[in-house]
Amino acid sequence: MDYIKWDDSYSVGINLIDNQHKKLIRILNKVIEHSEMDVRSKVVAEVLTEMTSYASYHFESEEKYLVKLGKEELDLHRKEHQFFLKETAEFCFETMNNKQTLPKEVKVFLRRWLLNHILKSDMKLKNLKIDE
């Protein structure tokens, strides 16, 4: 599977959020790079921890902007964020159980979820007028 390169089609027009998305893509590319490693590898654990931690930070930032879209949209978006954090936490747990297919599963999940989330859900931020 190829690495993901930032493309302007991923931009929501808010520098802070775009820069955070770029970092999430860099972390995802680390997952792609190490997806053939043994699940017990220290690198796999470190990358999963980094993704979970940074995503949590990013979601907090993003939700501050989402408030402007209204409660219904914010609640929907929060559910997507909670699902992501639940799944990544489960992946972390599965590393402790030495699930050997995990690195590949993580790669597929993160790639699909992250790009789908940015290109669909986060694009709603494009309509906001933000003073940066």
Name the strand (E) or helix (H) holding 3.
none
For the domain with range 14-126, which CATH number is right: 2.40.50.140, 1.20.120.50, 3.30.2010.10, 3.60.110.10?
Answer: 1.20.120.50
Residue 82: predicted pLDDT? 95
Mean pLDDT over residues 106-127, rounded? 88
pLDDT tens for 40-74 read: 778 878 888 898 999 999 999 999 998 888 889 89
Percent of the residues in the chain that have a pLDDT greater than 70, as a whole number: 96
Q: Rounded CA gap, 62 and 65, in Å?
A: 5
Whether residue 96 has pLDDT greater than 90? no
**DSSP SS3 for 102:** helix
Calculate the alpha carbon distances from 3 to 25, 35, 43, 71, 124 in Å: 9, 12, 18, 35, 25
What are the residue boundaries of the structural domains of the chain, listed by start? 14-126
By C-alpha distance, which of 56, 52, 59, 41 is closest to 118? 59
Count of CA atoms in the C-beta half-sphere (13 A) of 128: 22
Mean pLDDT over residues 74-80, rounded? 93
Residue 132: predicted pLDDT? 52
